[in-house]
Structure 1
Amino acid sequence: MTAQSYAMTAEAVDHLQRLAMQLEAHSFKVELKSRTGLFPQLHVVNPAAPSVTEDVLACEDEGEWWFWLSWAGRIGQAEDVTTAAERIASVLHVVRR
């Protein structure tokens, strides 16, 4: 791993950790996964419906960091973890019928 890719991975992890704290405050279960050779990701679980999950990535694009859903859905800028957490919560929301 080059010094530049290590620094980018470390920055991605930092953004994901800040998002994790925000999501935990909203009662979501989170697990940061960082494996060699793969992008770090945050696995988010709705505790009211454990089968409802999503993986979130933090990626740099033209000097700005963004959160993305695993299916390439852009969530928002990494600097705004509050809005990102709200958008993730809306994706993982379960409507009872």
Structure 2
Amino acid sequence: MPASTKRDPGDANHLASSVRQVRRKARLTQEALAQRAGISISTVRNLEQGVVVDPGVFQVAAIARALETSIDELLSETSTPATSTVEP
């Protein structure tokens, strides 16, 4: 993989903590988030634990929709993720 496309492991940790924080704020279990997003609970668990270093864009989009937030909010390092309505 070219150096320009390598992902910083810190990106995965930030996404993991963002997803966990927004999920908890929404009072959802990992299982409920997985069901809403149409992904497996192991995917949610692994993402939140930082095991998944480079999740697919479709998975991140599905999680953002399920959490009623934006992909930008989940990935933003300058702001604390906040739930907001996302249009389909």
Coarse TM-score class (shorter-chain normalised): 0.3 to 0.5
- TM-score, normalised on structure 1? 0.39
Greater Rg by CA: 1
TM-score by length of 2: 0.42
Of structures 1 and 2, the one with the larger relative CO (CA 8 A, separation 6+) is 2
